[in-house]
Amino acid sequence: MAVHKISVFQCWAKPLSNFNMVWILLLLLLFVILVVAYWYWSIVPPSEEKKREVLKDKVVVITGASSGLGKACCFAFQKYGCKIVLCSRNIEELNNVKQQLEDNALLWKSSQENKLSHLVFKLDLADTENMGNVVQEIAQSCDNKIDILVNNAGVSHRGSILSTKLDIFTHLMIVNFFGQVALTKALLPFMASHSSGHIVGVGSVQVSGRPDVYLLS
């Protein structure tokens, strides 16, 4: 009596007709298209129109807005029709930046249409105990609506670890870590109440390749 061995693969593959194979190939092709489309939209930056559509009328809180990168962020967000809340220890410089934003508003069509009034608040990240009071003032001035927080403010120290005193490390951590954590925690409830919000953290890579230097900013 002859015995024929049939593998499991043969049993599975036998019922597949040409019609079934076509469907499988179509599903595989669809999967590849979806993967490519996801990859494309992930790496291609949005258009200027899309940025304006997404950012228009958003309330943006920017720390360290009196100079440098923080000031540059103010002009960048203004371009897309955002309401800017400028925060820093230097209230005089903040008012100067606000005036520059107002003078610059005519250059940006979005700002001209929205006619948003930017706000100025004195904020010291080292004063964590008063952080909640400042945030309450900011929220009340913005109808309790805060969409974006840019944690830009910070201090730095350049020098060897051996020669740096402990009180300098303490001050750096209070301003650059605990201060930003306190501000973020104070603002989060207002974002959560609208089920929306974005938090941006700004850091530094200046110590890359320099193990003998400590810098935090």
- Chain segment 147-165, per-residue pLDDT in tens: 999 999 988 888 788 888 9
Residue 23 has phi, psi (to 5 degrees) of: -65, -40
Q: Is the pTM of this model over 0.85?
A: no
- Give the gyration radius of the chain's Cα atoms: 27
Q: How big is the CA angle at 96 (ends 107 and 115), to the nearest 5 degrees? A: 40
pLDDT of residue 46: 72
Of 3-12, 43-52, 76-85, 95-104, the least confident:
3-12
Q: What angle separates helix 91-104 from helix 68-79, to the nearest 10 degrees?
A: 30
pLDDT category, 107, cuts 50, 70, 90? low
> How does residue 213 score in pLDDT terms, banded at 50, 70 and 90?
low
| pLDDT of 215 strictly over 50 | no
CA distances from 194 to 24, 143, 207 (A): 44, 12, 38
Ordered by start, the domain boundaries in the chain are 8-43, 48-201
Identify whether the C-beta of residue 126 lies closer than 8 Å to the C-beta of residue 153.
no
Mean pLDDT, residues 31-56:
80
Does residue 8 sit in helix, strand or coil? Answer: helix
How sure is the predictor about 126, in pLDDT bands with cuts at 50, 70 and 90?
very high
Q: Is the pLDDT of residue 122 over 50?
A: yes
Residue 33: band (very low, low, confident or very high) from pLDDT cuts 50, 70, 90: confident
Q: Domain 48-201: which topology?
A: Rossmann fold (3.40.50)
Q: d(Cα 55, Cα 182) in Å, to the nearest integer? A: 25
Helix (H/G/I), strand (E/B), else coil: 83: strand
Q: What is the rounded CA–CA span in Å between residue 87 and residue 109?
A: 25
The answer on pLDDT for 108 being more than 60 is no
| 84 backbone dihedrals φ, ψ, rounded to 5° | -100, 130
The pLDDT of residue 109 is above 60: no
97 contacts 66 by C-beta, under 8 angstroms:
yes
* C-alpha to C-alpha distance for 123 and 129, rounded to whole angstroms: 12
Count the residues in the chain. 217
CA distances from 136 to 5, 106, 112, 143, 145 (A): 79, 31, 28, 10, 11
The whole-number pLDDT of residue 160 equals: 81
Given a cut of 50, is residue 216 above it in pLDDT?
no
The stretch 113-131 carries a mean pLDDT of 85
| Most confidently predicted of 44-48, 116-120, 211-215 | 116-120
Rounded to the nearest 5 degrees, what angle is found at the Cα of 166, between the Cα atoms of 165 and 167? 95
Counting DSSP H helices and E strands in the chain, the numbers are 9, 5
User: What angle separates helix 179-193 from helix 131-141, to the nearest 10 degrees?
Assistant: 30
> What residue type is 16 in one-letter code?
L
Choice among 37-41, 137-141, 167-171, 196-200 with the minimum mean pLDDT: 37-41
